[in-house]
Amino acid sequence: MSVKQISVFMENKPGTLKAMTDVLAQRGVDMRALSLAETKDFGIVRMIVDDLYEATTALKDAGFVHSLTTVLAVAIPDETGGLARVLGVLSDAEVNIEYMYAFLGGKTANQAYMIFRVQDDVAGAADALKAKGIHPLEQEEISAL
């Protein structure tokens, strides 16, 4: 169980991020989660969207350099210790987390979502979580949020 994350590489200058979001908005793409990392000269926008095909087509048509990465999206109860439980399962399974970011929303109350970029075995990480009753999301579930 996994989802695809779009990573967009862009020059670090005023208006570039707005131009990218305008392209997606014009094509009706809804961003579910977004993370921005930057350096002096460039930035990387990592995002999860409701319509992967439409988003990548729009970005390509507009000349934005981007790539797809398989990540793990996990539904976590929005309660004290929810993230700690998930991290405990991944730690026990010896899963190395490269980065993560969160988003709230969706139709389920008291639910948070985490995006994990794990080293090596996304499927193994998902299986470890499922074995402990933690729900990894599929791409189709992201679209329905």
Cα distance between residue 87 and residue 122, in whole Å: 14
Domains of the chain: 3-69 (3.30.2130.10), 70-134 (3.30.2130.10)
CA distance 69 to 119: 12
Instruction: Look at residue 3 and tell me whether its pLDDT is greater than 80.
Output: yes
pTM for this model (two decimals): 0.88
Q: Is the pLDDT of residue 77 over 90?
A: no
Burial class (CB in 10 A: 0-12, 13-18, 19+), 113: buried
pLDDT-derived band at 104 (thresholds 50, 70, 90) equals confident
Alpha-carbon distances of 111 from 32, 34, 89, rounded to whole Å: 14, 17, 18
Q: For the chain, list the strands marked E by DSSP.
A: 3-11, 31-38, 42-49, 65-77, 97-104, 111-118, 135-136
Residue 100 bridge partners (DSSP): 116
| Of 95 and 142, more confident | 95
Mean pLDDT for 70-79 is: 90
SS3 state at 75: strand
Note the pLDDT of residue 106.
63
pLDDT, tens digit (0-9, with 9 covering 90-100), for 110-126 = 788 899 999 888 999 99
